[in-house]
Amino acid sequence: MTSADHVLVPFEGSSLSVKALETALAHHQNAEITVLHVCNPVTSEVGLVELFRLADGAPPGSISESIWTDWYERVRERSADVLEVAAELAEDRDREIRTETAFGDPDREIVEFAERDDIDLIVMGSHTRTGMARIWLGSVADRVVRTAPVPVMIVR
């Protein structure tokens, strides 16, 4: 097992991201653990479909600032809920974690966070999607493994 001072755990609330966090907490007891939830505006539960529903089908350039603000707040609330699960999991194991939210393409945000925040190891689930969505969108884990500046532990 690789020794690490600062471990990044991408977390979206799936069973594999929970398993990844549990693994990081168990195997890196002396490390600082940062849990990162990446909000992808295109694929998130409160994604663009929700934005267009709020805008009553108006094209993006004509959407009022208040609708964008409402949508952004819904995305932030969803992220807070996801990160609350991670914080409770750590608390149940008498550990403290740092939680962060990023907006954008998940693999790019994970890699950039690792570069920017002096991360020694990324621990993440092997996938979050199944079936055609995984084939069509590709695997975030695959792209992180190929581009990360640090070792990546994949949990299955």
| Per-domain boundaries in the chain | 6-155
pLDDT digits (tens, 9 = 90+) for 73-115: 888 899 999 999 999 999 999 999 999 999 999 999 999 999 9
Span 124-142, average pLDDT: 67
Helix, strand, or coil (residue 3): coil
Residue 22 has pLDDT above 70, yes or no: yes
Residue 4 pLDDT: 94
Q: Which of 1-5, 59-63, 74-78, 117-121 has the highest mean pLDDT?
A: 117-121
6-155: CATH, from 1.10.20.10, 3.40.50.620, 3.40.50.920, 3.10.350.10: 3.40.50.620
- pTM reported for the whole predicted model: 0.84
Structural contact between residues 86 and 11, judged by C-beta atoms closer than 8 angstroms = yes
Q: How many CB atoms lie within 10 A of CB 127?
A: 16
Query: Which residues fall within 8 angstroms of residue 30, CB to CB, at 6 or more apart?
Result: 5
Residue with tokens 């094209």: 59
Predicted pLDDT of residue 137: 45
Under 8 Å between Cβ of 54 and 70: yes
